Amino acid sequence: MNRYAVFGQPIAHSLSPRIHAAFAAQFDIALDYRAIEAGRDTFAPALAAFTRDGGCGANVTLPLKEDAGALCAALSDRARRCGSVNTLVRVGDAWHGDSTDGAGLLHDLTRHGIEARDARVLLLGAGGAARAVAFALADAGARELFVANRTQARAQALADALDAPARARAWDTLQREPAFDLVVNATSAGHSGDAFVLPCAAIGATTACYDLSYGNAARAFLAAARAAGARVACDGLGMLVEQAAESFALWHGRHPHTTPVLAALRG
């Protein structure tokens, strides 16, 4: 049986094993997909042990997406550009890294009727997932992309790396910005359970708000977005399913149907 895994910390809550089991059932593929707890200090040895046990593919989540590339012999163009890896593919005796987060986000935005092309976008956060979706939004034709992060230097570094018109903004200056078309939360703030303080002036009646997280981790941001008057507020469960489908296709050469899997998770 082919062995796959998702690495991250914390990881016990991950829905990825359930998602990939559902995908595999669509094609009668037998696979062993499990969640493996690993932090930044333990990821390399954990991946090495997984490799020795016959691992042939893996997903990578917080806080490892920027570290994973260093363990790869080769990177896809999109992973190299954004400096983030969420999918590992075993090729011969080495790992190849790819990033499917951006594609997953764009597929889910389309599902919700949210357009990235010609949109004025505010991205909150500048970590591994933020970098992946920033490049995807730029490639999709975002008219303007503003990056805000608690650490201003990280926001500036991401804005400088993008080809599209991109600007870094200090968090406390967002109140002076006019309303955006799309606000994407890529911070990990929701995982702490604290209230999310949004720059309300940046959200108007035509603003779509999207959190890359889902479940409890997305509740604070979504509540703040609705209170600020956003026209729609979505969590990232659909993105999780869509990026998983892209990973599955890289491993198995077949793209699964995502709609029934997402419906089952929502149910």
Encode pLDDT of 76-129 as tens digits: 999 999 999 999 999 999 999 999 999 999 999 999 999 999 999 999 999 989
Residue with structure tokens 């939004």? 137
| Rg over CA atoms, the chain | 18
Tell whether residue 61 is among the known ligand binding residues: yes
Q: How far apart are CA 144 and CA 213, in angstroms?
A: 23
Tell whether residue 57 is among the known ligand binding residues: no
**Catalytic residue (one of 20, 65, 81, 96):** 65
Among candidate residues 81, 76, 59, the one with its CA nearest the CA of residue 164:
81
Q: How far apart are CA 144 and CA 121, in angstroms?
A: 6
- The yes-or-no answer to whether 2-99 and 102-238 have a common fold is yes
Work out the mean pLDDT of the chain and round it to a whole number: 94
Evaluate if residue 163 carries a pLDDT over 80.
no
Give the model's confidence band at 61: pLDDT under 50 very low, under 70 low, under 90 confident, else very high. very high
Q: CA 41 → CA 29, 37, 46, 64, distances in Å?
A: 33, 11, 10, 10
Q: How far apart are CA 83 and CA 30, in angstroms?
A: 32
Tell whether residue 210 is among the known ligand binding residues: no
Listing DSSP states for 252-266 in one string gives HS-PPP-HHHHHHHH
Catalytic: 42?
Answer: no
So what CATH class is 2-99? alpha beta
CATH code of the domain occupying 102-238: 3.40.50.720
pTM exceeding 0.75: yes
Residue 11 is encoded by which pair of tokens? 């990881």
Q: CA 8 → CA 78, 125, 139, 266, distances in Å?
A: 21, 19, 28, 23
Q: Looking at residues 193-208, what average pLDDT do you find?
A: 82
Q: What is the pLDDT of residue 193?
A: 65
Q: Delimit the domains of the chain by residue range.
A: 2-99, 102-238
Strand order in the sheet with 182-185: 166-170, 144-149, 120-124, 182-185, 208-211, 232-234
Residue 266 is encoded by which pair of tokens? 């929502």
Tell whether residue 214 is among the known ligand binding residues: yes
Positive/negative CA dihedral, 91, 95, 96, 99: positive
